[in-house]
Amino acid sequence: MTLDQAELGRRLEELAREYRVPGASLAVHAGGRTVLAATGVLNRGTGVEATTDSLFQIGSITKTLTTTLVMQLVDEGLLDLDEPVVKVLPEFKVADPNVTASVTTRHLLTHTSGIQGDVFTDVGRGDDVLERFVARCADLGQSHPIGATQSYCNTGFGVAGRVIEVLTGKLWDTALREGLLAPLGMDRTFTLPEDVLRFRAAMGHLPVPDGGADDWPRPAPRWDVPRSAGPAGIVVGTAEDLVAFARMHLADGTATDGTRVLSAASARMMREPQVAVPDRWTIADHWGLGWFLPTWEGRALYGHDGGTIGQSAFLRVLPDRDVVIVLLTNGGRTRELFRAVANEVLPETAGLRVPEPPQPPAAPIPVDLADWYGSYERHHVRMDLAPGEDGTPELTVTVTEGLAGLDEPPHRMPLTAVDPDAGLFVTREQDFAAWTPVVLHTLGDGSRYIHFGGRATPRTG
């Protein structure tokens, strides 16, 4: 496949239709040029066409922007990643006083603080939103002991955003605009809905209940994410703007016009492995500062994904070939679409394919999980592992408070053993869906965790 815009657009259209993705915007940078394509509609309720300059929610890719702002503070000598957060935010506290006293910014950026991570408390729209969010952290417990393992933590980035505000004397939104968006020419990237409304913007779409492979998703009941989630995942922008951000990191902190945005040392530090990920099959085997760090066919990449209410975003950077892929979507089987699109682009541009995810073995592997059966719980999520009706292990996941308060029915998912010695199982709710890894992980002290969707959920009963 050549990086021809018409051909790229044709394949994107075909694949988006196959995976029932209503709308998508794609940007590929390779060979010194950026090619753009878009397909579908921004909202199946209105039929507005998706274009290459349409805005999509980038979700947690926002975290790489926030981390870059943090590293600018390191460059300026205003912040030490390994000093306790309370040195900058003396009012910060969580339920465990030892964690309050010792958690560092590095813990926050690498998802190793153990602080309950999926806190999306809406504390309003005022400019003091992050200050109020930090105050709400006082009662948060731990998913795991600080530094003991890795579990995805949105909460930590809200705290990091407040660190940015205190040390710059600016709102996080303003620091982002002045420190990154303006120098990089990202003039179609925003944090507030009143700015987004001036442009074409995607609406998220959610699956039809009990729908099949041929059913298209329907528009979500709401668009916005609480402003308190800003530094963790509120940014809205274009695929082309994200390429500009990624190219700055490829150039070790220098914008295309030569502007130094970040020191080379800090840019490189962000993509150095900081922690091994117990579930190395879902996204990556290591995490850096902000970036996750997958290895594909022995070659190092960095990137991040994002998910909001029915929108999904994907960013991958292959530094040894100066290749960047950005895919922004608004519902459907988005991860499968990204894999298919990347496998159209990468063989030619980088001599590489996306590794196949774990699959059930041809012959079932017998396992005895009696010692693992029980309840596992973290903030707003309960998991129950028990034998199903046919005796095979079944995981029931109940979201007790979803993103932005949206309710979800319990998810009942049978587990299939792939590599029991590594704790690796796979599951899926529907026959047409992609397999998802589930990892049973034991810490050094013997405590047991289920790693699923990037999160570590401890056994509680």
Catalytic (active site) residue 312: no
194 close to 173: Cβ distance less than 8 angstroms: no
CA distance 274 to 296: 18
Question: H/E element holding 418?
Answer: strand 416-419
Q: Which phi and psi angles does 25 have, rounded to 5°?
A: -130, 130
Q: For the chain, how many residues are written?
A: 461
Nearest Cα neighbor of 290 from 456, 110, 80 is: 110
Alpha carbon 325 to its chain centroid, in Å, reads: 15
Nearest Cα neighbor of 156 from 241, 77, 256, 89 is: 89
Nearest Cα neighbor of 129 from 154, 105, 162, 156 is: 162
Which of 60, 113, 266, 312 is labelled catalytic? Answer: 60
Secondary structure of 352-399 as H, E, C letters = CCCCCCCCCCCCCCCCCCCCCCEEEEECCEEEEEEECCCCCEEEEEEE
CA distance 44 to 204: 10
Residue owning tokens 């079932």: 364
Residues identified as active-site: 60
